[in-house]
Chains A and B, each alone.
Chain A
Amino acid sequence: MKDEKPGLFDSPRNVKILLGGFYICCIALLVLDFVIHRHIIHRWESLWGFYPLYGFVGCSILVFVATWMRSFLMRDEDYYEKDQHSDNQQKQLATQKGANDVDD
């Protein structure tokens, strides 16, 4: 497909507009904290910007910890199949050589 229509987000301008709108929403939500009176149950809720801060920091920590977890949890894609494959290969080799012959 050579003359394919470029997608909506192929142009950097559209992406910029989208992100700009998103940032404005974020600021507006922060400002709303002053305007709207909430009924709070927990005292932390009365802190200004508690929810935005918690969401932002929480997610950043989530990603940093998860990235760090990769250092000891990540293995190859065929990690669990590898042993079986090598076993099968060995078996094939063995049968070729006749090493598993019961009469030996």
Chain B
Amino acid sequence: MWMIELPPFAPFFIGALLVLATSGVLRAAIMLVVPILGALNLWMTPEGIHLQLMFLDYQLIPYRLDKLSLMFGYIFHIAALLGIIYSLHLRDTVQQVSAMLYAGSGLGAVFAGDLLSLFVFWELLAFTSVFLIWARRSQRSFAAGMRYLIIQVLSGVILLIGAIFYAKEHNSLAFDYIGLDSVAGWLIFIAFGIKCAFPFAHNWLTDAYPEATVTGTVFLSAFTTKVAVYSLARGYPGIELLVYIGAAMTCFPIFFAVIENDLRRVLAYSLINQVGFMVVGIGIGTALAINGAVSHAFNDVIFKGLLFMSMGAVLHMTGRINGSELGGLYKTMPKTTVFCIIGAASISAFPLFSGFVSKSMVMSAALEEGYDWIWLMLLFASAGVFHHAGIKIPYFAFFAHDSGIRANDPPLNMLLAMGIAATLCIGIGVYPQAMYSLLPFDTGYNPYDATHVLAQTQLLFFSALAFVWLNKKGLYPPELPSTNLDIDWFYRKVFPKALHRSSIMIIKLDSNIRQSAQQKMETQLSWIRAKCQGGKEGASGNYPLGSMTLWVAVVLGVYLFLSVLK
């Protein structure tokens, strides 16, 4: 029997301390051992509540384990291990420590059984991850990290207010089904929504992730949004609003992805698109749909991680990431090319790759529950994701025109991490039953029937045909060095400009008021002065100071004289 029930975040926090105290090979060994031991610890622990304490009459449950949280627990350990292997070549204490703390915070959040513990890890996620962005050590990344931090902390503050309302209403802080029938429910929903990159609150993701370091983005892509997906699955399953929000999330980012030049930003947009599928699944709320959402989150961490790793490898080796500057890299980076294509096939949900076995569950659930229009939107988004993540990313980075760059494949540790992720993508795609056995519900779903396989293959091949046709006709938008406006335009351009203008106006108004007041005062004074000097009957005249002193001296002299006389 496993004796010590260590909360899953603890090994990572302890590991972070040890990383701080060590260096070189020992540090690398500690970083590798932590996720492996952590996963073993999790595997040995039975379901149930393992840690609780009292705080002002409320019961806190920092460690609760059930099937839903366990699934996220496993994938976070895998993501941490992959990210650590991928970043083994790094000699940067800031990044290494913050990556460990960040992974630990993610694990803390998915095993938190009450809203206050959730809030603590929610904010820790923000504060630990921002260093992965700042570690790029450029003006641009600093500003992007600052915007990221402000939005993340705001989400946490809304969560805290929601939790306080919730505690007052229900006399409990337990984190279970919340629903939308109270103010608290809405506040917590908004907090989750910000972290989940709901439309209009999505821009922190596409703004900050591409500005992070090569290895930092791999960590970032795994934890924050998946914690939000988990929280929605826990607190709001079956809320119909989520179906519509999720469908919007799957569709709008693909338009931006098609015209975006920074290939890691393209991936950030497609991350929102994938999270959209999960949100739809949670909104439908049936056993099949929730299973679909959770398993898609599981797969997404791996294939999106793989894609970010392959693009990170390109950035690491060439120093460039814009589609307009890349091309022809398949000649000198063949391994990275193959790994990227495997990730692309997985995210596009090709049969025998991991995306297929999870996305089809959400699509089937949408059809079964009669969401016809939503199903059509998801189908469109599936074709679209293949178009921008499946074709555009590999095509513009590794093929297209020869950019003349001759960069080699990245260091061995990066290749190893990509290799493991690629193996998992294919493994889960070929033998999905292993992952299905971990899911919260048993639905007996089989993705590999002729109908599904044929429909998906047809959809994808003819999407590719559209790409070939558009490219041959010269209708495909070329990669251009550019910035595309998104919601961040409002808070990076419009509001600062408006603020600047209004502050100028206020300063002007203020100086005008002062000036006119001064003028008025001046006229009043001169009027009084004129009156005093002219009529000689006012309270004061223009007597010189000297004469005044003289008269005081005279009075005092007389007083002295009188006192002597006495």
Contacts and interface: CB of A to CB of B under 8 A. Distances in A.
Interface of A: 1, 5, 7-10, 19, 22-23, 25-26, 29-30, 32-33, 36-42, 45, 51-60, 62-67, 69-70, 72-81
A43 B380 CA distance: 17
A75 B384 contact: no
Contacts of A77: 481-483
A36 B455 CA distance: 11
B454 interface: yes
B460 interface: yes
Given A55-B383, A75-B485, A66 B463 contact: no
A41 to B, nearest CB: 5
**Do most interface residues of chain B lie in helix, strand or loop, or is the interface mixed?**
helix
Contact of A63 (B331, B399, B460, B475): B475
A75 B459 CA distance: 34
A60 B468 CA distance: 11
Interface residues of B, number: 54
A22 B468 contact: yes
A68 to B, nearest CB: 10
B476 interface: yes
Contacts of A9: 330, 399
B380 A79 contact: no
B259 interface: yes
B244 interface: no
Contacts of B380: 54, 58, 62
A55 B460 contact: yes
Interface string B373-414: 001000110011001000000000001001000100000000
A8 B199 CA distance: 42
B464 interface: yes
Contacts of B493: 80
Residue among A32, A70, A80 having the largest count of chain B Cβ atoms under 10 Å: A80
B289 to A, nearest CB: 14
A92 B559 CA distance: 67
Nearest to A15: B399
Contacts of B328: 7
B383 A52 contact: no
Given A7-B331, A70-B477, A74-B480, A54 B454 contact: no
Interface string B456-490: 11111111111111100001110011111110000
Contacts of A79: 483
Contacts of B467: 59
Interface in B243-267: 254-256, 258-259
A54 B379 contact: yes
Given A36-B450, A38-B454, A41-B368, A56 B463 contact: yes
A58 B460 CA distance: 11
Given A38-B450, A51-B454, A80-B493, 5 more contacts: A22-B468, A29-B462, A45-B455, A52-B462, A66-B259
B367 interface: yes
A100 B449 CA distance: 75
Given A39-B451, A73-B259, A54 B383 contact: yes
A84 B380 CA distance: 40
B11 to A, nearest CB: 40
Contact of B463 (A36, A39, A55): A55
A38 B140 CA distance: 53
A29 B383 contact: no
Contacts of B469: 60
A41 B387 contact: no
Q: Which 5 pairs from chain A and chain B are nearest by CB?
A: A59-B466, A66-B258, A55-B462, A38-B451, A52-B462
B459 A74 contact: no
25 contacts: A5-B331, A22-B468, A32-B454, A33-B458, A38-B451, A39-B451, A42-B367, A51-B459, A51-B462, A55-B463, A55-B466, A58-B463, A59-B463, A60-B466, A62-B384, A63-B477, A67-B259, A67-B475, A69-B255, A69-B259, A70-B259, A73-B486, A74-B480, A74-B484, A80-B493
B170 interface: no
A80 B483 CA distance: 8
B474 to A, nearest CB: 12
Nearest to B453: A36
B330 A7 contact: yes
B492 interface: yes
B331 to A, nearest CB: 4
A75 B372 CA distance: 37
A53 B259 contact: no
A73 B485 contact: yes
A65 B251 CA distance: 12
Nearest to B262: A77
A54 B470 contact: no
B345 to A, nearest CB: 15
A77 B265 CA distance: 14
B253 to A, nearest CB: 11
A29 B491 CA distance: 48
A52 B458 contact: yes
B383 A58 contact: yes
